[in-house]
Amino acid sequence: MYRYAVIDLGTNTFHLLIAEDDGADGFREIYRERRFVKLAAKGIDSICPEAFERGLEAMKSFREKLDEFDVVTHMALGTAALRTASNGEEFIQRVKQESNLKIQLISGSREARLIYAGVNYMVPTRDEPDLIMDIGGGSVEFIVINKSGILWAQSFPVGIAVLFHNFHKSDPISMEEREVLHQFLEEQLQPLAKAIEQYQIKRLIGAAGSFDVLQQLSFQEDSSKSFTISIDQFKAFFQTIVSATFNERLEMDNLPKKRVDMIVVAFLLMRYILKLTGAAEIVFSPYSMKEGVLLQMINAGKKQREGEFRIYYNHSIYPELLRMENSRKRLLNLLFLSGTLLVILIILDIYINIFLLTLLLTLPVGVYIFYLGSRIRRFVLTFKPRIVDLILHFMNEQLVNYQELKYDSKNFIDKGRFMSSGIFSSGADYYKGEDYITGKIGEMDFELCELDVREVSPVSNKLQTTFKGVFLHAIFNEETEGKIILWPRKKRQFLTRAIKNFTWLGGHNVDHEILNESFREKFMVYATEDTHVVSILSDPMQEAIVHFIEKNKKDVYISFINKEIFAGISSEKDILEPRILRSNLSFPLIKEFYDDIEMALRIVQDFDQTH
């Protein structure tokens, strides 16, 4: 899979975030790191030598991480400190020389748009205007938003490094310093005050940064989710933090040590904005600028990959399809002409009534028609292998985590392995497979194929379908214990026997452990007692599966049986089977097969990367 990285060079902190597309509309985090470099340790006007070296070391380390995680695309964004510092450009050039990373300096307005992109993903917008506040070291971005988008945005040079160096001289901060700071904010933030009055702001959204201290003070367990604190809760935290000395704050267990020095001015700034807005609550968003950048990169990457596959289709697959399409047309034309000639000869025999002559004339035509039939059969048998080989070549070359993909048109997953998945309880009286693909995803070996499985109905004594579609089997390369089976909820009436069998083996319903409501609506989830469900069914995996089902309208079955993974994606028709009477020059036909394979492999890949 394609991996992306964002480096956010803040005034106090450098952040690295590495992630990949989760298959839905978000991302799956691979690695996250932050370095407290404190570029403005001795003022915002210039980066002191010690901070300069801290920054360079951080960027060199980030460069190593990009290489280690095979990042395909990255962006490094410089904000207020590098915009303001007299030696900011020198720092940018040194980073390029020593770590081969190009830093883009972004304006305050672009920074605001990127913050909005991140926050908007995590905190749903409302009809009423809200105020987003992103506290940086050199500047603070304020963005007024509602459902229609950004209504107003401005960056102000009142970051906590600025406030700390100018106003926090005493320990603890004195009332006089607090008053001077308050007057400074009143002068600097007059445009914000007018915007708040104009839009009648009643809710404050804090974007990551200093606001994550609220998350830790509130003992929120999941730092990846948004949460809300009341104004009364904030007041209690405020009083504790602002009245404490540096050493007292240092002893607070739930206060990050790297934020101990500047957290006081950060809280004074928050309180000023709360009073200005009259907001009754603060909504914390763990997503901010870097996540906004990442979401935009992934969205652009999806379009690019779709474009790459389209280009590959045009350059490699389409010419082969066109060649076979011409062959199909020639065969149909010859078949039509031969058939027409045969009909004419039969009519001629009726009129002249010379049987021997007619036989001598029709026999070669009949033999030629039989020959054309064999060529049509060969066309059908060779069509899919040629196209699948081309698709797998694209996946081998373009998708980083896939290796050694191979195809065998006649082989298939054996019946015993299919039955061991526990997904279906069937005698499999009819079992047929084809289009066998093997390879590796990360360190996991996998096999998949198309299967058509049926059993004799006890009611009608006729064959009825158990499963038809793409079926996958993979083996995790470490010893793992536990069993989970996911069945489509709408298929419950057909799965009663399979559910009873799994329950008999110690399985029980664990729907209550699934927090994703859409996933819970679509699936019944059963597991054995010794299985930690959430660690196996990760949130990104659930999102990707739901997204696939909603997009493709196909049923998905999955089971984790100790170290083995099984997945079935149903399809009523044979995928990528050539049509004789209609054209096969169809990009959607090829893309459907590609999407089905990629979805099955994504389940294995997610398990490989999260375990």
Domain extent for 364: 295-400
Cα 352 to chain centroid, rounded: 74
Range scoring the smallest mean pLDDT among 26-35, 342-351, 460-469, 545-554? 342-351
Residue 457 clears pLDDT 90, i.e. is over it: no
Cα 445 to chain centroid, rounded: 22
Q: What is the mean pLDDT of the segment spanning 481-487?
A: 90
Burial class (CB in 10 A: 0-12, 13-18, 19+), 529: exposed
Task: Answer with the one of 368, 400, 432 that is the final residue of a domain.
Answer: 400
Q: Each residue of 175-215: pLDDT tens digit? A: 999 999 999 999 999 999 999 999 999 899 998 778 888 88
Which one-letter amino acid corresponds to residue 28?
Answer: R
132 in the same domain as 23: no
Q: What is the mean pLDDT of the segment spanning 232-253?
A: 91
According to the model, what pLDDT value does residue 191 have?
Answer: 95
270 in the same domain as 126: yes
CATH code for the domain of 222:
3.30.420.150
SS3 label, residue 103: strand
Residue 400 clears pLDDT 60, i.e. is over it: no
131 in the same domain as 98: no
Nearest-CA neighbor of 594 among 573, 568, 576? 576
SS (H, E, C) 28-87: EEEEEEEEECCCCCCCCCCCCHHHHHHHHHHHHHHHHHHHHCCCCEEEEEECHHHHHCCC
Q: Please check whether residue 361 is in contact with residue 349, taking contact to mean a CB–CB distance below 8 angstroms.
A: no
Residue 234 clears pLDDT 60, i.e. is over it: yes
Edge-to-edge strand order for the sheet containing 556-561? 402-408, 430-441, 444-456, 463-475, 564-570, 556-561, 483-488, 523-528, 507-509
Neighbours of 299 (CB within 10 A): 13
Q: Please check whether residue 566 is in contact with residue 478, taking contact to mean a CB–CB distance below 8 angstroms.
A: no
Q: Each residue of 41-69: pLDDT tens digit? A: 887 788 999 999 999 999 999 999 999 98
Nearest-CA neighbor of 11 among 129, 108, 119? 108
- Across the chain, what does the average pLDDT equal? 86
Q: What is the mean pLDDT of the segment spanning 234-252?
A: 91
Which one-letter amino acid corresponds to residue 374?
Answer: S
Residue 72 clears pLDDT 60, i.e. is over it: yes
Task: Answer with the one of 400, 433, 448 that is the final residue of a domain.
Answer: 400
> What pTM was computed for the model?
0.60
317 in the same domain as 413: no
Q: Each residue of 76-123: pLDDT tens digit? A: 998 877 888 889 899 999 999 999 999 988 887 788 888 998 998 888
514 in the same domain as 372: no
Report how many domains make up the chain. Answer: 4
SS3 label, residue 261: coil
CATH code for the domain of 24:
3.30.420.40
Q: What is the mean pLDDT of the segment spanning 339-352?
A: 77
Contacts of 39 (CB under 8 A, 6+ apart): 11, 12, 47, 51, 52, 55, 81, 82, 85, 137
Nearest-CA neighbor of 154 among 118, 103, 188? 188
99 in the same domain as 133: no
According to the model, what pLDDT value does residue 579 have?
Answer: 79
How large a percentage of the chain has pLDDT more than 70?
93
